[in-house]
Amino acid sequence: MTLDYNSLLLALGVSAACLAVTLMGSWLVRRAETVLLTATIGLVLVVSGIFVYSAYVNTPEKWLGIASFGLFHAGFATIWGAGKQFLTSRLSIPAIAIRALAATIFSVVPMLAGYDGLAFIADNLAIALLLFATARQYWLARAEALAPILGIAALYTLTAISFVLCAGVLISDGKLVLGAAPNNWAEDLSLAVCIAGMTGIGALSLALHQWRLAARHRLEAITDPLTGLLNRRAIFDQYGTRPMGSTTAVIVFDIDHFKSVNDRFGHAAGDRVLTVFAEQLQASCHAGDTAARLGGEEFALVLKEIMPGRAELTAERIRRAFEAREIDIDGQMLKCTVSIGVAPGRAQMLDFDTMLSAADKALYAAKRGGRNRVELAAYLRAVPAEVARTAS
C-alpha cells in the first residue's frame, strides 16, 4: 500500500512529537542540559506547524499557510539556537528571533501578495538555510564526540537538501500561483527524509547527551571542586609509576599557617586563600605542566621539558608572587606565604611517586627551616639569595 501525502505528513508530526516528549523527559532528568529544553521547544513549534500545514493541505486558506510558515520558521530557528547552544553553552534568544522573523517575512510577503507558489519556494529555501546553519553548528563542535556529531550534522544536511529539492521542483515548474499546497515527488521525498532524519537525529542526540553526562562525571571525578585543579587521584592516574627523566621536576607546596587563617577568619576565607593560590599556580603553568591539589592546603606542580635549575627558579617565582598577593577578606586585606619542596629530575630516572616523596621531604625541611622558603630534595638547601634575585 502506498502512503499518500497526508499520511506521510501525519507520520512526520507524530515522529516529531514523540521526539519532543523524549527530549523533554531527558531534560527533566538532567535540568542542567538546557540545550535539551531548547530543542524541545523548537520541536513543539515544528509539530504545531506540521498540523497547521496539514489543515492548509485540506483547506488552502491563506491564513493557514501564513501561520504554518511562522511556526515552521520559529521552530527551525529555535532548533538552530539549540545547535548554537550546544557549541557555545550560551542561548541567544535575540539571534533566534532575528532568524525566525527574517525567514517568516521572506515567505509571508509573497503569500500576502497572492503568489503562493513563490511563497512556498521562499519557505523551502528559508528552512533549508536554517537546517544548513544548524548542521554547521554541530560540525564546528565535532571535536567533542566525532562520530555522533558527524552523524547529526550529516542528517541535518540531508534534510536541508530535501527542502532545496522541493524549492527546485517548484522553480522548474515556473508557477508563481498554485492555489493549493505543493504536491510532487520532491515533497514526498522530503517528508520521507524528514521522518528518517528526525528518528536518526533523536537517537544520536540522546546518545550524545548521555556521552556528555558520562564525560562530565569523569571530569568531576578527577577535578578538585574548589580550585578546578586536578585532584590527588588524577595526578597519580596521570603519572603513577611513570619514570621521570632529567628534564622533569616535581614541586610540592604547603600554605603556611593555613589553620590559623581558618580559625581567625573562617573557612570561607580559607577557601578564598586556596583558590587564589590555585590561580597563581595555574598562571605559572606552561604547556605540558600539570598542577594539582593534593588535599587540604597542599598542592603539587609537575614540570616537563625544563632546563636544569629552572624548577627551583619557578618555585621561587611562585613563592614571591603569592607572598605579594593581597587577598580581600570582607574588606580586610590578608597576606599569606607558602613553603615549597622541589625534586628536580635526575639522569637516573625515578618514578613519580619517588620524586613526590622527595619533594615532600624537602617541603617539611622548608617548614622546619622557618617557612616561606624553597628547599631542594636530596641535599636540602634553600634557594640562595642571588638565585632568588635572578628568579624575580
Give bridge partners of residue 253 from the DSSP assignment. Answer: 299, 340
Write down all domains in the chain, each with its CATH number in brackets.
5-221 (1.20.1070), 230-391 (3.30.70.270)
Q: Tell whether the model's pLDDT for residue 203 goes beyond 80.
A: yes
- 3-class state of residue 179 by DSSP: coil
The whole model's pTM is what? 0.69
Rounded to whole angstroms, how far apart are CA atoms 261 and 255? 10
Kindly report the backbone phi and psi dihedral angles of residue 378, in degrees, each rounded to the nearest multiple of 5, phi listed first.
Answer: 75, -75
Backbone Cα Rg of the chain: 31
Band the pLDDT of 378: cuts 50, 70, 90. Answer: low
Band the pLDDT of 275: cuts 50, 70, 90. Answer: very high
Q: Are strands 230-231 and 243-244 parallel, antiparallel or unpaired?
A: unpaired
Residue 89 DSSP code: S
Kindly report the backbone phi and psi dihedral angles of residue 372, in degrees, each rounded to the nearest multiple of 5, phi listed first.
Answer: 50, 50
Give bridge partners of residue 291 from the DSSP assignment. Answer: 301
Q: Tell whether the model's pLDDT for residue 106 goes beyond 70.
A: yes
Cell (9 digits) for 292? 594539582
Residue 297 DSSP code: T
Give bridge partners of residue 254 from the DSSP assignment. Answer: 298, 339
Rounded to whole angstroms, how far apart are CA atoms 326 and 368? 25
Band the pLDDT of 11: cuts 50, 70, 90. Answer: confident
Tens of pLDDT along 317-351? 999 999 999 898 888 889 999 999 999 988 788 88
Tens of pLDDT along 128-183? 999 999 999 999 999 888 889 999 999 999 999 999 999 999 999 999 999 999 99
Rounded to whole angstroms, how far apart are CA atoms 200 and 253? 51
Give the closest residue to 66 by CA, choosing from 109, 128, 99: 109
Band the pLDDT of 392: cuts 50, 70, 90. Answer: very low
Give the closest residue to 276 by CA, choosing from 242, 253, 260: 253
